[in-house]
């Protein structure tokens, strides 16, 4: 599953020369750095309807966090401290923190190296690799884990977790960095050369610092994914906070211990968020001046070309080759019979249905916030954005726990309904949609709409006919990201879905739990197949917006 | 009064003859297109050479070849006696020790001004105490006439001119003996341009740095240069001191590129040419008979010659009629249609079939359209073959 | 405008599929019976913690016989049990089926069950159901020690489950403590030996055991030689043997017997919720499961659990339940909350 925080990169637009490297999409990097080229309604106030909608959605997002805090308070400090300060939690902390501390720098290094090889060298076949290296995003981490465990059954523990997580999540750093590489000003690097920096000096003193934003943003995403991931680590018997919360849930439903663990997990997420924000600093890496429209010449690797191939080829093989091969092997073993399960079609339809419905609802409800942020930037809009970003950083399991409890206690009719599931998806995936919608809106010149209005169109009509034209590709990307997240979502759906729900992820997981790996293979394949077009769409868009 | 069209003046850089930069037989192509063809250039020590040409002429490529960002297809480049590019030799840019200031300054966006300048400081000083570094940075800022408190600012807080100066300071930090400047003043406002140019010229002169600057602005080129090199479609048309290139251009293209040119058909005889403006002295040339001559507008004086009120003794013969007057502030530009049959007495009807000539005049003269004027050429013209 | 059309199209697709998804997955509201109060009809929702395949087989047969639609909500014993307690009177469940007793006892103690029909109770022997009559046993399984003969000889196999606390067993035995199955075994230990002994044993287990997730995974690991032995339930081995055998070929079973806690026979339970909207159908389902039809499936099917009904023999491949020498325990006494607390204390949860 790719829960909580947004995943792939699309770059923010460049209306007046301000470069916001690709992970503007993490949102909290925030409206602070965003140009106000598309704003400019000084004095004019936004429609009350829009503001109300934005505030309502954001408040909804506060529910899970509120639940954790309130339950914590209600449980009382003595019980809470007994549940939090015990050896088991220490074990989990060690595992989880160890995982993050090792995996994040590793993915960062691999992501940057891959982006450099693809973007700055003349390696033959680099264009193919450029696409291939984005595909691990189409394979959910738990399917990757399944593939690896099928190939190497004895995989378990921290280092296996690091391996699988790195292979699953490196595109989160690779994509923004690859996009950022394309936007770097070559004359700056030449200036460094003229000042005596050799190739390594230029890389570490000039290129890498300019990549700080995409690296940090990508690293944050990787960290948040690591904290939220369940299936992948459960399969290799590696206990993290999220796996422990799920186990607690299975034993006590929403007992205080589960919530206590959730509280610690939320703190870890907050820690990551603050860390990234601090490391980012006040950087505004504006491209100064208009710049010469020169493309950086590519470096030939010469004698090291085979090393480059080995690295990229090896990366691809491990990240995609192994899971694919395992899936194919199981499918071959299962033959045609595994495909004849009637549940398969039902699961496919349900997954697609939830994916589309969730995508549409999320984009629609993210729109008011994006609109406010771009057209009427203010403290309110920034606050709303930050709230949404924060709440979506919570792991899916916490959001699900919160909504389950709240719905049982207060909104019974919603309990175990599709609506609740969609609401959960909304909360989990809102920022993905938000950042893309915001980027799209920011690209639209306000002047156009006003021109349309001066020609007699009603403001709403002017908006629909003029702005949507520009804004549609971003909306599509936003929907695609949400769709991708929903298709691969596991834990929240498990908790909240109405009885009898069978999505691809749920079916896959139940087969795997019975160690029926053969039966699980068709579901794995279907999830990957559903995710691939979306992943390609995101990749294509990341190339497009970077050259705009 | 000095003769502006006179012989080559003594303004050429006559420093010690050691040439710091030598280009010989340089050729460079990109894709299938030939960018530079058989370039030869020599830059004396301590002097400033400007390579001027229109966009696409290859001047930036030339600079990049010297700096080491590109390698020539053939030919040799020697800097400070060391061959840096040539058959079997290719010294990397970061080892050439040549300062480079890019078109927009190319300051490092992630560093402050002080850190930018300190970037080029040698490792010893980079690792030195904060005070040593700060002092070095302040000195460099002072060199480019910026206040020391600029050191804490970020590049995006600076104006274009300030960024250029910081870029210069950064390049100067390494005390290079050679400095390359790529259209450094083109992105500055007109008012700022001259001032910045002067500061830069002064800084480089004081430090005795040999400079090559590249630009498409002729006025800038001529004021900055000791040696001017005109680049056209990858070939060096002419290299020489500005005065020489301006007054004795080698062809009409060069003539027109460096300034306004008045071109008239003429008949050349030894030392003189007969044209619509009368007999004009002409620079030594092997051309005879039908050809054309080039005069600079400032060589032509304009005087009124209307009939009436002038006595025969002081009357000037009219050479043409004003067709248009363009106001430029201190000057006006007159478009004068010359009479077909040369000078004529004031008042006599004339055939307006001659060449259209653009000349300048002080704005106080009050010439209006339709008035008849007398044009007189002073100084020496340059002769060119008739077809050019 | 093409793009607004595209949006409308997308929205239309989304709404249609959403409706479709809702249709597919909407909780089958249990519809009350039609006119005749004793003929089951309509539909029921079963909160099912038993193995999905088994319950699905029961559900399909039941639907074939009676026409009642059965919707399963699958989960774990304690998860569903606690969920039922949380849901309280607003629960949409009609029937609750478990794999072990502690979870169903939890729900029983919350007073959420309706009394089981007498006719149904008559089908199950007394020792396999609580005296309260609020739920009944539906199947049974025996605790076993599975081991890999190439890593562990018969003489090295522990005599009692309590031996596994010995330091000699450090890192040499496996279990799945997060699962309800093992927690049921611990509840038996708690009932038989008391809180202190259980606490000590769990502490020793924390030192010694290698944790896996799921009994199947434990068996697979034993089979692969990763670990010499482990504590699971019997039917995993038999089920795998009946299939490809790839996860049990190198595994043997050891029955502790001697009324050892390790010989604990866990009773799977079934009960009808008080708040059921379709009690007739719910009771009928429970009657079916414990009757000849349902129990035959246990005998002939692939689950290899022990039937509870007298009228049906166990699958001949299994060790007869009478030979297991299991300790006698009242299923309603098994306390899941206490077990969870003890296991949390020991650091397993």
Q: What is the pLDDT of residues C244-269, one digit of tens each?
A: 788 888 899 999 989 899 999 999 99
By the CB < 8 Å criterion, does A472 face chain C? yes
Please answer yes or no on whether C11 and A86 come within 8 Å at the CB atom.
no
User: Which pLDDT band, with edges at 50, 70 and 90, does A17 fall under?
Assistant: very low
**Which of B103, B160, B174 has its CB closest to that of A196?**
B174
- In this complex, the residue of C7, C213, C349 whose CB is nearest that of residue A251 is C349
Q: Which of A252, A472, A499 sits opposite C340 (nearest CB)?
A: A252
The pair of structure tokens assigned to A274 is 């603050």
- Check if the beta carbon of residue A205 is closer than 8 Å to that of residue B119: yes
- The count of other CB atoms within 10 Å of the CB of residue A523 is 30
Q: Please judge whether A87 and C14 are an interchain contact, meaning their C-beta atoms are less than 8 angstroms apart.
A: no
User: Distance between CA atoms of B36 and B25, rounded to whole angstroms?
Assistant: 10
Cβ neighbours around A273 below 10 Å, total: 20
Provide the shortest C-alpha distance from residue B194 to chain A (in Å).
20
CB contact under 8 A, A498 and C27: yes
> Do the chains contact at C180 and A251, CB–CB below 8 Å?
yes
Cβ pair A288:B104 closer than 8 A: yes
For chain B, the straight-line distance linking the first and the last C-alpha, in angstroms and rounded, comes to 32
The reply to whether residue A356 touches residue C13, judged by beta carbons under 8 angstroms, is yes
Which segments of chain C have a pLDDT < 50? 1-4, 20-29, 33-35
Alpha helices in A393-487 (DSSP H): 396-409, 418-442, 446-454, 459-462, 468-487
* Cβ-proximal residues to A198 (8 Å cutoff; 6+ apart), any chain: B92, B94
Select from B166, B100, B91 the least CA-distant residue to A194: B100
Looking at beta carbons, which residues of chain B come within 8 Å of A195? 94, 119-120, 170-171, 173-174
Instruction: Find chain B residues with C-beta within 8 A of A193's C-beta.
Output: 68-69, 92-94
Q: Which helix (H) or strand (E) holds C214?
A: none
Coil vs helix vs strand at C213: coil
Residues forming a β-bridge with B89: B86
Assess C131–A contact: CB distance below 8 Å, yes or no.
no
- pTM equals 0.81
Are residues A191 and B100, on separate chains, in Cβ contact within 8 Å? yes
Q: What ipTM is given for this predicted complex?
A: 0.80
Model pLDDT for residues A332-367, shown as the tens digit of each residue: 988 888 888 888 999 999 999 999 999 999 999 988
Across the interface, whether the CB atoms of B103 and A191 are under 8 A apart is answered no
pLDDT at A28: 31
The SS3 call for residue C146 is strand
Residue A133 to chain B, least CA–CA distance (Å): 29
**pLDDT band at A38; cut points 50, 70, 90:** very low
Locus of tokens 């960002």: B69
Q: What local confidence, expressed as pLDDT, does residue A547 receive?
A: 39
Identify the chains in contact with C, defined as 3+ C-beta pairs within 8 A.
A
Q: What does the pLDDT look like over A1-16, one tens digit per residue?
A: 333 333 333 333 322 2
Specify the residue for token string 């460049």.
Answer: A14
Nearest to C24 among A349, A472, A510 (CB): A349
Cα–Cα distance list, B59 to A191, B348, C135, C182 (Å): 18, 53, 94, 81
The strand pair at B272-275 and B278-282 is best described as antiparallel
Nearest to A492 by CA among A234, A242, A161, A221: A242
C10 part of contact set with chain A, CB < 8 Å? yes
| Among chain B residues, CA nearest to A201 | B94
Rg (CA), chain C: 22
- What pLDDT does residue B346 have? 58
Q: What is the pLDDT of residue A312?
A: 92
| Regions in chain B scoring below 50 on pLDDT | 1-16, 308-313, 388
Closest to A237 (Cβ–Cβ): which among C45, C183, C212? C212
pLDDT for the residue B350: 61
The 10 Å CB-count burial string (b at 16+, else e) for A1-18 is bbbbbbbbbbbbbbbeeb
Q: What are phi and psi of B111, to 5 degrees?
A: -120, 155
Name residue, tokens 């699953």.
A168
According to the model, what pLDDT value does residue C37 have? 61
B interface with A, Cβ–Cβ below 8 Å: 67-69, 92-100, 102-111, 119-120, 122, 155-156, 160, 163, 167, 170-171, 173-174, 180, 187
What does the alpha-carbon distance between residue A26 and residue A139 come to, in Å, rounded to a whole number? 21
- Say if the Cβ atoms of B109 and A194 lie within 8 Å: no
Confirm if B291 and B297 have CB atoms less than 8 A apart. Answer: no
**Closest CA of chain C from A76, distance in Å:** 17
CA distances, C133 to each of C50, C184, C332 (Å) = 20, 21, 10
Residue of B nearest to A195 (CA): B120
CA dist A399 to A63, A362, C78, C226, Å? Answer: 8, 16, 21, 37
Measured in angstroms, the CA of A184 and the nearest CA of chain B are apart by 11
What is the number of other CB atoms lying within 10 angstroms of the CB of residue A224?
28
Instruction: State the chains in contact with A (3 or more Cβ–Cβ pairs under 8 Å).
Output: B, C
Pick among B110, B153, B155 to test the A interface (most A CBs inside 10 A): B110
* pLDDT exceeds cutoff 90 at A97: yes
d(CA A273, CA B111): 24
Distance CA C334, CA C100 (A): 10
Contact A489, A498 (CB under 8 A): no
- Distance in angstroms (rounded) separating the CA atoms of residues C174 and B170: 67
C274 touches chain A (CB under 8 A): no
Contact (CB, 8 A) for C141 and C305: yes
Tell me the torsion sign for CA atoms A335, A341, A343, A344: positive
C175-203 burial, b at 16+ Cβ within 10 Å, e below that, comes to bbbbbbbbbbbbbbbbbbeeeeebeebbe
C25 and A500: CB-CB below 8 Å?
yes
Is C215:C233 a contact under the CB 8 Å cutoff? yes
Q: Are C134 and C115 in contact (CB under 8 A)?
A: yes
Record: contact A253-C86, CB cut-off 8 A = yes
Pairwise CB contact (< 8 Å): C347 & A88: yes
Whether C66 contacts C284, CB under 8 Å: yes
**Shortest Cα distance from C266 to chain A (angstroms)?**
17
Degrees (nearest 5) of the Cα angle A224, A227, A229? Answer: 105
How many angstroms separate the CA atoms of C63 and A56, rounded?
A: 45
In this complex, the chains that touch B, judged by 3 or more CB pairs closer than 8 A, are A
- In this structure, of A77-91, A433-447, B86-100, B108-122, the range with the lowest mean pLDDT score is A433-447
Distance from CA of C269 to the nearest CA of A (A): 17
- A→B contacts (Cβ < 8 Å), by residue, are 185, 187-188, 190-198, 201-202, 205-206, 209-210, 212, 283-292
Are the C-beta atoms of C107 and C47 separated by less than 8 Å? no
| Closest CA of chain C from A346, distance in Å | 8
User: Taking 70 as the threshold, does the pLDDT of residue A85 lie above it?
Assistant: yes
Residue A37 clears pLDDT 60, i.e. is over it: no
Tell me which of A93 and A390 has the higher pLDDT: A93
Q: Is A410 on the interface with C (CB under 8 A)?
A: no
Lowest pLDDT segment from A109-113, A207-211, A465-469, A482-486: A465-469
DSSP state of C305: P
The answer to whether residues B96 and B36 touch, using CB atoms and an 8 Å cutoff, is no
Confirm or reject contact between C14 and chain A (CB < 8 A): yes
Is there a contact between A288 and B99 if contact means CB atoms under 8 Å apart?
no
Give the best residue of A289, A290, A296, A302 to mutate against chain B (max B CB count within 10 A).
A289
Q: Return the pLDDT at A322.
A: 94
Residue C172 contacts A where some CB pair is shorter than 8 Å: no
Selected residues 103-162 of chain A with any CB under 8 Å from a CB in chain C: 153-154
The dihedral built from the CA positions of residue A342, A348, A354 and A357, taken in this order, carries a sign that is negative
Measured distance CA(C290)–CA(C306) in Å, rounded:
12
**Packing angle of the helix pair A212-228, A171-183 (nearest 10 deg):** 170
Query: What local confidence, expressed as pLDDT, does residue C12 receive?
Result: 56
Classify C326 as helix, strand or coil: coil
Residue with tokens 């010995």: C166
Pairing mode of beta strands C43-48, C69-74: parallel
The CA-based angle A460-A465-A469, given to 5 degrees, is: 130
């Amino acid at each position: 599953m790719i829960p909580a925080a947004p995943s792939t990169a699309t770059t923010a637009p460049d209306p007046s020369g301000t470069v916001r490297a690709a992970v503007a999409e993490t949102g909290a990097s925030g409206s602070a750095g965003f140009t106000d080229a598309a704003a400019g309604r000084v004095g004019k106030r936004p429609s009350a309807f829009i503001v109300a909608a934005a505030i309502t959605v954001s408040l909804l997002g506060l529910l899970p966090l509120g639940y954790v805090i309130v339950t914590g308070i209600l449980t009382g400090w003595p019980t809470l401290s007994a549940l939090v300060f015990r050896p088991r939690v220490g074990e989990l902390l060690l595992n989880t923190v160890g995982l993050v501390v090792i995996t994040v720098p590793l993915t960062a290094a691999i992501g940057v190296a891959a982006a450099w090889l693809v973007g700055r060298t003349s390696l033959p076949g680099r264009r193919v690799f450029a696409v291939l290296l984005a595909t691990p995003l189409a394979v959910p981490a738990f399917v990757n884990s399944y593939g690896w465990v099928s190939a190497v059954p004895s995989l378990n523990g921290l280092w296996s977790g690091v391996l699988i997580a790195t292979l699953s999540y490196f595109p989160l750093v690779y994509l923004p960095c690859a996009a950022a590489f394309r936007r770097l000003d070559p004359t700056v690097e030449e200036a460094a050369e003229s000042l005596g920096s050799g190739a390594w000096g230029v890389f570490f003193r000039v290129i890498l610092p300019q990549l700080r934003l995409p690296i940090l943003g990508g690293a944050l995403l990787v960290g948040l994914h690591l904290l939220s991931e369940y299936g992948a680590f459960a399969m290799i018997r590696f206990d993290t906070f999220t796996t422990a919360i799920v186990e607690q849930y299975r034993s006590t439903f929403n007992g205080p211990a589960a919530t206590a663990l959730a509280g610690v997990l939320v703190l870890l997420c907050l820690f990551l968020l603050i860390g990234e924000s601090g490391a980012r600093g006040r950087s505004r890496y504006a491209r100064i001046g208009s710049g010469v429209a020169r493309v950086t010449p590519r470096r030939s690797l010469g004698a090291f070309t085979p090393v480059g191939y080995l690295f990229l080829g090896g990366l691809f093989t491990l990240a995609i080759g192994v899971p694919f091969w395992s899936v194919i092997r199981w499918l071959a073993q299962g033959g045609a019979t595994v495909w004849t399960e009637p549940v398969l079609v039902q699961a496919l339809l349900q997954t697609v249905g939830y994916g589309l419905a969730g995508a549409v609802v999320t984009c629609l409800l993210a729109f008011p916030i994006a609109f406010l942020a771009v057209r009427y930037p203010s403290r309110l809009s920034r606050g709303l954005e930050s709230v949404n970003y924060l709440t979506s950083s919570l792991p899916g399991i916490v959001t699900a726990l919160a909504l389950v409890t709240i719905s049982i206690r207060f909104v019974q009719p919603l309990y175990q309904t599709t609506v609740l599931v969609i609401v959960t998806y909304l909360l989990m995936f809102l920022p993905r949609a938000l950042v893309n919608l915001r980027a799209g809106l920011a690209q639209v010149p306000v002047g156009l709409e006003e021109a349309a209005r001066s020609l007699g169109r009603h403001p709403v009509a002017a908006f629909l006919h003029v702005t949507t034209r520009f804004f549609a590709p971003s909306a599509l990307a936003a929907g695609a990201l949400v769709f991708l997240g929903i298709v691969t979502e596991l834990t929240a759906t498990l908790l909240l879905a109405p009885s009898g729900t069978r999505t691809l992820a749920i079916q896959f997981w139940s087969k795997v739990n019975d160690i029926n790996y053969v039966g699980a293979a068709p579901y794995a394949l279907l999830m990957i197949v559903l995710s691939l077009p979306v992943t390609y769409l995101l990749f294509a868009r990341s190339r497009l917006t970077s050259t705009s | 009064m000095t003769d502006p069209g006179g012989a080559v003046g003594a303004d050429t850089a006559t420093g010690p003859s050691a040439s710091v930069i030598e280009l010989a037989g340089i050729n460079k192509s990109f894709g299938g297109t030939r960018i530079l063809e058989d370039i030869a250039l020599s830059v004396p020590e301590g002097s400033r050479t400007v390579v001027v040409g229109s966009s696409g002429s290859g001047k930036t490529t030339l600079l990049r070849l010297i700096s080491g960002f590109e390698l020539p297809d053939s030919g040799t480049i020697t800097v400070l006696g060391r061959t840096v590019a040539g058959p079997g030799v290719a010294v990397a840019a970061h080892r050439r020790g040549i300062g480079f200031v890019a078109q927009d300054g190319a300051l490092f966006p992630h560093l402050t001004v002080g850190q930018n300048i300190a970037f080029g400081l040698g490792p010893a000083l980079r690792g030195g105490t904060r005070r040593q570094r700060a002092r070095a940075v302040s000195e460099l800022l002072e060199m480019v006439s910026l206040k020391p408190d600029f050191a804490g600012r970020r590049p995006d807080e600076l104006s274009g001119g300030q960024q250029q100066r910081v870029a210069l300071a950064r390049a100067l930090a390494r005390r290079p003996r050679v400095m390359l400047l790529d259209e450094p003043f083109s992105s500055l406002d007109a008012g700022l341009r001259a001032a910045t140019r002067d500061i830069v010229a002064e800084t480089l002169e004081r430090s005795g740095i040999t400079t090559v600057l590249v630009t498409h602005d002729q006025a800038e080129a001529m004021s900055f240069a000791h040696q001017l090199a005109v680049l056209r479609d990858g070939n060096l048309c002419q290299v020489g001191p500005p005065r020489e290139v301006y007054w004795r251009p080698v062809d009409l293209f060069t003539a027109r590129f460096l300034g306004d040119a008045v071109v008239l058909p003429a008949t050349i005889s030894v030392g003189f040419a007969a044209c619509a403006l009368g007999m004009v002295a002409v620079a030594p040339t092997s051309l005879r008979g039908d050809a054309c001559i080039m005069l600079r507008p400032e060589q032509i004086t304009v005087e009124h010659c209307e009939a009436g009120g002038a006595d025969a003794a002081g009357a000037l013969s009219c050479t043409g009629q004003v067709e248009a007057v363009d106001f430029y502030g201190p000057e006006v530009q007159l478009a004068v249609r010359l009479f077909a049959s040369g000078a004529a007495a004031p008042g006599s009807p004339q055939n307006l079939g001659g060449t259209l000539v653009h000349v300048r005049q002080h704005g106080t003269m009050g010439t209006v359209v339709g008035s008849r004027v007398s044009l007189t050429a002073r100084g020496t013209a340059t002769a060119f073959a008739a077809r050019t | 405008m093409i793009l607004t059309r595209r949006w409308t199209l997308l929205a239309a697709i989304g709404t249609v599929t959403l409706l479709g998804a809702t249709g597919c997955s909407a909780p089958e509201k249990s519809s009350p019976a039609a006119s005749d109060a004793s003929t089951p009809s309509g539909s029921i929702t079963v909160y099912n913690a038993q193995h999905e395949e088994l319950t699905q087989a029961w559900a399909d047969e039941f639907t074939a016989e009676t026409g009642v639609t059965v919707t399963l909500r699958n989960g774990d014993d304690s998860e569903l049990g606690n969920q039922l307690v949380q849901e309280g009177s607003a629960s949409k469940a009609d029937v609750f089926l478990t794999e072990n007793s502690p979870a169903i006892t939890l729900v029983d103690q919350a007073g959420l069950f309706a009394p089981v029909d007498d006719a149904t109770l008559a089908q199950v022997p007394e020792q396999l159901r609580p005296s309260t009559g609020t739920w009944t046993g539906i199947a049974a399984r025996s605790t076993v020690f599975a081991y890999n003969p190439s890593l562990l000889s018969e003489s090295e196999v522990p005599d009692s489950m309590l031996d596994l606390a010995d330091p000699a067993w450090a890192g040499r035995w496996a279990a799945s403590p997060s699962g309800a199955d093992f927690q049921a075994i611990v509840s038996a230990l708690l009932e038989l030996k008391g809180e202190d002994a259980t606490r000590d044993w769990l502490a020793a287990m924390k030192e010694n055991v290698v944790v896996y997730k799921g009994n199947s995974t434990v068996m697979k690991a034993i089979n692969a030689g990763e670990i010499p032995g482990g504590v699971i339930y019997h039917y995993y081995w038999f089920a795998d043997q009946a299939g490809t055998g790839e996860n049990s070929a190198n595994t043997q079973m050891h029955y502790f017997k001697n009324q050892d806690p390790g010989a604990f026979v866990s009773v799977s339970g079934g009960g009808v919720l008080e708040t059921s909207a379709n009690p007739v159908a719910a009771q009928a389902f429970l009657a079916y499961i414990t009757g000849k039809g349902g129990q035959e499936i246990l005998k002939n099917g692939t689950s290899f659990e022990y039937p509870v009904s007298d009228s049906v023999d166990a699958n001949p491949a299994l060790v007869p339940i009478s030979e297991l020498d299991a300790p006698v325990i009242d299923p309603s006494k098994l306390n899941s909350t206490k077990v969870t607390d003890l296991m949390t204390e020991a650091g397993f949860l």
